[in-house]
Amino acid sequence: MLLNRGILYLTFALFAIVPYGKGQQRFEVNGYVSGIGQGTHSSDTNAVTQYASELVLHQRLNMEYHYGTVLSAYAGARNLLHAGSMVTLNSYYADIYNLDNGYIDLNFNWIDQPNWFLTTQIDRLYVNVTHGPLEVSVGRMRINWARAMVWNPNDIFNTYSYYDIDYMERPGTDAVKMLYYANANSLVEAVAKLDSAHRLTSALQYKTNHWGYDLQLIGGYAYGSDWVTGFGWEGQLKNIGFRGEMTYYQPAKNFADTLGAMLASVGFDYIWQSGLMLQFEALYNSPKTLLNITSAVGFFGAPASAKSLSFAEYNLFGNILYPLNPIINLSMAGMIYNRYHGWFAMPGIDISAANNLNVGCFYQYFSFKPTGTRLVSGYGMVRVKWSF
């Protein structure tokens, strides 16, 4: 705990003493503050419906320091205060936010009370050095190898939960990254990371553009146990967006006599002149690597790896987005899972109330049958968010 707080104080102290805008130096700060009121209900065919609610105050701070075009440093953190009956009823609630899967533990709870807690999560803390076509980054960063919209088998360094709609920045990972721009259309990226269990993931990505498509190939060693290879693409089929990813995992142990696991996703999207947008995506998750989810709470946590993206082998996603006018956007998302007779729905509305001020209302509904009893859960949220 003392080490974590020391890292936090040192991070913000280093950025605080950087001269602002002097010569080739540039210092930038941005972020947001949001207040969220949310409630939940859950029930099954044998029990009375239970209700809970909470208030969440969410403050995000991002800082960047640039020295010319050679050196850059980045830090980002979010502070969260949760209070209400959802905290009281779930004794492990604060522990979830205190859990850090990175090599260095940068999540910590300042206050942990029976009905409220205050936590800080540092998810960006890295330095980037550029020399000609070569970039080297060291620290906690977001490494995005995703091509699809919802499920990302190629994203072996960072996983996230689609259902966690209040964490748009997504988690970071503790890694060393080298990026080489071979030419205007091609680059090679090499990344190595260690997680909290000291498991190594290291891989190469080759990215290029041909026939109007962004293409990528990946290969390496993942999660201290598997050789991994895969590919991804993103482009247009006439006026329809077309993208997807495929990744294959082969256990390193008993390599020759062990079958591996494959995950693949493919998606389409189309936008009309009116602004109406349709999105569709499908995921195949090998039955060998399915998630073990027995309650709706399990959906919100990020999968431990890109090797296990769903509890179901076959998954379908659809989303409709429509700008009612310049300040109001409507959406309706849904999923169907072939396992547990499960389905999910999420209607939403987002309102640009003023410059840098947004108001959003969302509702998430889960229905699935992991045992002989169907479980139903609903989560409603109203969020007011001011960005700076």
Structure confidence by residue, pLDDT tens digits, 275-321: 999 999 999 999 999 988 777 666 766 677 899 999 999 999 999 99
- With tokens 């045992």, the residue in question is 371
Q: Can you tell me the distance from the alpha carbon of 199 to that of 307, in angstroms, rounded to the nearest whole number?
A: 14
Rounded CA gap, 211 and 313, in Å?
Answer: 32
386 Cβ neighbours under 8 A, 6+ residues apart: 32, 33, 34, 356, 357
> Structural domains in the chain?
2-387 (2.40.160.10)
Tokens of 153: 């088998």
Give me the pLDDT at residue 16, please.
Answer: 52
Amino acid at 32: Y
Q: Copy the structure tokens of residue 60.
A: 């995000």
Give the count of beta carbons closer than 10 Å to the beta carbon of residue 358.
Answer: 18
pTM above 0.85, yes or no: yes
Residues in the chain with pLDDT < 70? 1-23, 44-48, 257, 296-298, 300-302
φ/ψ of residue 289, rounded to 5? -125, 25
The pLDDT score that the predictor gives to residue 7 is 56
